[in-house]
Amino acid sequence: MPLPESARLSDAAVTWPVHIGMADKLSGVSAKMIRHYESLALLPAVNRTDSGYRLYTQADVHTLRFIRRCRELGFPMKDIASLVNLWHDQHRSSANVQDIARRHLHTLAERIAGLQAMQRTLQGLIGCCHGDERPECPILDELANPAHPATPGID
């Protein structure tokens, strides 16, 4: 499988600053999401050309990679903002970073437990269904049963 373009491009081979299209390629973050992250102030205000095009520094692209990695790990935007601020703060306490990571780990564990419960329920329902030509279906009967509450966290 070929490497993504962001992995093939070397920061050293780039003339800085770069336009949003190159920042997209170098960071692996789409131009749309780059603009979104700017609107959330996850990136400092970027310089612009006289014609209004955004110009990204090597530090901006590095921050975008950091944000992308946080997103890959499922951190919520509020926590990503905190992590970006802590990452840039040379006087930070690593305990603050650890607290955010521990909270997220706990949230992930709860979500995994919920998904496993759903998986067990579906396995049981599939086991009860004959899967034949008859119209009776215990899966549909169970899904239509108002006596069973919705699974928390599922919208």
Q: What is the phi-psi region of residue 151: left when phi exceeds 0, alpha when psi lies from -120 to 50, beta otherwise?
A: beta
pLDDT of residue 152: 55
| The pLDDT value given to residue 11 | 84
Q: What local confidence, expressed as pLDDT, does residue 3 receive?
A: 47
- As a whole number of angstroms, the distance between CA 10 and CA 13 comes to 5
CATH code assigned to 5-88: 1.10.1660.10
pLDDT of residue 6: 52
**What's the pLDDT score for residue 147?**
82
E runs forming strands in the chain: 47-48, 54-55
Helix (H) or strand (E) holding 139: helix 138-143
- Read off the tokens for 125: 């329902």
Average pLDDT of each block of 10 consecutive residues along the chain (155 residues)? 58 93 98 97 94 97 98 98 98 98 98 96 93 93 82 54
Cα separations (Å) of 37 from 4, 48, 96?
22, 16, 22
Listed by start position, the domains of the chain span: 5-88, 95-143
pLDDT at 76: 98
